[in-house]
Structure 1
Amino acid sequence: HVLTTPSGPSRVGGNWKVTRGEVAVSSSSPVYLPLASGHPLPRIPPNPAARDKEEVGGRRWSSRERPTTFSAPPISTPMAAMECLQAHSVQILGIAVAVAAIGAGAAYLYLSKKPKGSLDPENFREFKLVERKQLSHNVAEFRFALPTPTSVLGLPIGKHISCRGKDSVGDEVIKPYTPTTLDSDLGYFELVIKMYPQGRMSHHFREMRVGDYLSVKGPKGRFTYKPGQVRAFGMLAGGSGITPMFQVARAILENPNDSTKVHLIYANVTFEDILLKEELDGLASNYPGRFKVYYVLNQPPEDWNGGVGFVSKEIIQTHCPAPADDIKILRCGPPPMNKAMAAHLDDLSYTKEMQFQF
């Protein structure tokens, strides 16, 4: 007796060959009556001996050496085939989505992982001078290498570092400086140093040559900044006090997610004393709607069209944002200038919360 699917059975060598959904049995078989009466087949217990020795591909394999084989479930109708394909498609889609999610998560973790800085707030570390560029008779730019080409200094915006050296008589001296580079500058940091004739740390920098090492500790400083915390900054800088202003301004302007505006007043004695003028003019050109710089000279050249003399209340009123809760005025310059600027700002109704001095 044969229970068969529409394709029908076939006989090979005296035995019934079961194809697709067929089941071929004889009336003497112990499974015939259950099948004929519609009852399910009894569960046949496994044969350990048969399980231990199976014939696969014409060869008998033991359970320990048996090759792995796979078989697809029988497909008896076009509808079943479609359902099978759909099931496999769903499985493949699920796997693809899972792989994409894992890849995206790994990429996010990699990109969001902040590199470890090269500074130590408690101990001095040595950094090698790899380039020295003379900008004027008393100003030079010093480039120091970080541990690797992809290392970052790890200096938050507006912070400074402490540099240690020796003065002209060999005594140790420590002075704060603000790098003009950011953590987006990989593998190095730069200091623009104005060397005064009687400056103790100026002597150390004046004597430095490529290959020498500078002892540095940091970060230091009270200033903290988060993108968008104010609508606008006003900056009052004098001489070498431009370095923290330049660092903050550059960080703001180069951040595409920060719309803060920056208004800088920069005072010097002569035109030759202006530090980073090319870089400042570049920021003004690249970000005309967000960065303004106004130069003031005490001894200007004949063709000068900027401010003349000292920074006055009128200059501040004209070139800085008016007093408001969402603005801040930053000051950094020689002590006499800082004192004069604080008095001007008080007279112009800028509260203490609206002011910060580096």
Structure 2
Amino acid sequence: MSFLNVPKAGFPASGSPQKLGQGSLSKKVQLDKGYSLHDWIVLHNDRSKDLTSVGGGFKRVSVAELQQHNQIENAWTAIRGKVYNLAPYMRYHPGGADELMRAAGRDGTQLFDQYHAWVNIETMMERCVVGFLVGDDLSAIRERRKAQSKPADPQSGAAIDPAIGQGQKPRFDWYQSAQVVNIVFMSQYDLHEDNIIASLDSSGSLLEVVAVLGPASSYVFKIRLHDKVIASQGMKVLVKNGKAQITMVKAQEARWPKYGELLPGNGVVTSREVKFHECSIVAVQKITHDTNIYRVRLPSAVHFKVPVGHHVIVKVNVEGMDLTNPYTVVQSLVPSSPSGADGCAVDILLMVKIYPKGVVTPHIGKLSAGDTLRVSDPQGSFDTASLENTEHVALIAMGTGITPMTSVISHVLSSSTERKVHLLFSNKTESDIMWREELDQAVCTSSGRLSVQHTLSEPGDSWTGDKGRLCLMKVQQFLDPIVNKEKLLVCVCGSPSFNVSVKRWLAELGFTAGQYHIFS
């Protein structure tokens, strides 16, 4: 399992399209037979069907007309100026028709960005486009958005999070030799490798650096370099003492008179565009009968490290439609030598369960070493600061819900504290237990700081461990030995129904929202 050696992660990135949070849950509904994502693709690609309700073409839609289309059988919404007919998609929407109706008859851009910023609506709903939002009253929408937004940064015009003081805003300096150029970013806010995202364009002329300043804000630098650097050689990123230094090799040996110039779009932002990168698959390992781990290597011109419990969005093209799935990045639990210590980009690990009747995972299941995969920047909201005042961390996971728990376990065990981790891991059969060998090794090397309890809902005759579906009594028995509940954080991850059940049981046991975190 040597290819699983990846570095530790630890700093939370900014707000996430995947709804993660203490006590928050993604709402999903059971779709009727014949209304799966695959069924939507089939309908969407059927050119004989009019999904616009207006006979095709592009209408000029006023705000007043848009407001009239607010019924479930006749629902329109506007997203970034385009008007979409939502009615054909109602029964296919994973969150249900009620959720979709929240955007009916109005501009749904803000709502869409809050929950689905990573979704490519241009391909997902291409044939549902009614037209474009026009008219003088459109300016009223813009004014309302402006009034509702946070104060603007006078230098960049970007929205400012009031929680970020002016002194915390990053700044940068530069120095050079004839061979390399170094850009150094500084801030009173503590910078870590986990909250710096850097990328070069393919020409080696444009550098973008994102410094994640808090749970909902980032500072973006967009720089046109004075001359080209060698993008194929990538960047060396070192973070130390609150400074982040990015070193790039010049395409031509020469001393530059200046670093280049700042481009429009610099400043504090409360939401960022979800960027995807063409990554290469280095290795694939089968860990159960239906689950693989993919070691994915970032392009040389992209650098980031995924924080604890955070995820990336994977985008694949299926029958001409770009589809996305979030996958929490897993962390190897077997002690290994540090990776990426020289500041170069590191690989990430994705644990993917292949569902034969799914749409996205069968496509990923066919990939092998040497193939490519489009992967986004890190997303998520889990904050390791929630662990600071704890003595115990209890993890309750089902199936692929083990993925965020791996980085939590690794983070806790690598810290200098005596904090203990307890894992209750529920699966269907013994062959479904993911990373069992890694978990066993981690228990053996944890000096008693990690305990793992397995429970199977459909155990075989040879199984001697706990049996039966997870229930209130099992959760209570798992948590009871931890005496000081005030120094305990519970993390939960599984299917939506599993998360709802465990959340209810925790409430019955007297836990409040601040004492647990739901990964959903």
TM-score normalized with structure 2 length: 0.44
Of 293, 306, 328 in structure 2, the residue corresponding to residue 155 of structure 1 is 306
Asked whether the 8 Å contact 2:291–2:353 carries over to 1, the reply is yes
What does residue range 14-25 of structure 1 map to in structure 2 within 5 Å?
none
Equivalent residue, structure 2, for 1:171: 321
Structure 2 unaligned runs (5+)? 1-237, 247-271, 341-345
**Residues in 2 aligned to 1:229 and 1:201: alpha-carbon distance in whole angstroms:** 40
Partner SS state of residue 497, structure 2: helix
Equivalent residue, structure 1, for 2:403: 243
Report which structure shows greater RCO (CA 8 Å, sep ≥6): 2
User: 1:219 Cα deviation (Å)?
Assistant: 1.7
What does residue range 122-161 of structure 1 map to in structure 2 within 5 Å?
122-147=274-299, 153-161=304-312
What does residue range 45-64 of structure 1 map to in structure 2 within 5 Å?
none
Partner SS state of residue 348, structure 2: strand
Aligned in 2, Cα 1:185/1:307: closer, same or farther, shift over 3 Å?
farther
Deviation sequence 1:322-355 (CA, Å, 0-9, x none):
5723211111001221111111111111111111
Partner SS state of residue 329, structure 2: coil
User: Which structure features the higher share of strand residues?
Assistant: 2
Equivalent residue, structure 1, for 2:511: 350
Partner SS state of residue 396, structure 2: strand
Equivalent residue, structure 2, for 1:285: 444
User: Which structure features the higher share of helix residues?
Assistant: 1
User: 1:312 Cα deviation (Å)?
Assistant: 2.2
What amino acid is the match of 1:124?
Answer: F
What does residue range 306-321 of structure 1 map to in structure 2 within 5 Å?
306-320=465-479, 321=482
Of 372, 382, 385 in structure 2, the residue corresponding to residue 223 of structure 1 is 382
Structure 1 residue 271 corresponds to structure 2 residue 430: yes
Aligned in 2, Cα 1:166/1:278: closer, same or farther, shift over 3 Å?
same
TM-score normalized with structure 1 length: 0.62
Partner SS state of residue 325, structure 1: helix
Alignment RMSD, CA only?
Answer: 2.6
Structure number with larger C-alpha Rg: 1
Partner SS state of residue 205, structure 1: helix
**Residues in 2 aligned to 1:335 and 1:251: alpha-carbon distance in whole angstroms:** 25
User: 1:295 Cα deviation (Å)?
Assistant: 0.4
Asked whether the 8 Å contact 1:115–1:152 carries over to 2, the reply is no
Aligned in 2, Cα 1:322/1:347: closer, same or farther, shift over 3 Å?
farther
Partner SS state of residue 134, structure 1: strand
Asked whether the 8 Å contact 2:422–2:451 carries over to 1, the reply is yes
Asked whether the 8 Å contact 1:234–1:263 carries over to 2, the reply is yes
Equivalent residue, structure 2, for 1:305: 464
What amino acid is the match of 1:175?
Answer: N
Asked whether the 8 Å contact 1:228–1:260 carries over to 2, the reply is no
* Structure 1 segments of 4+ aligned residues over 6 angstroms from their partners: none
User: 1:301 Cα deviation (Å)?
Assistant: 2.0
What amino acid is the match of 1:127?
Answer: C
Deviation sequence 1:237-280 (CA, Å, 0-9, x none):
0010101011111121123x232211110001011111111111
Paired-residue identity, %: 27
User: 1:294 Cα deviation (Å)?
Assistant: 0.4
User: 1:148 Cα deviation (Å)?
Assistant: 5.2
**Residues in 2 aligned to 1:308 and 1:238: alpha-carbon distance in whole angstroms:** 14
What amino acid is the match of 1:351?
Answer: T
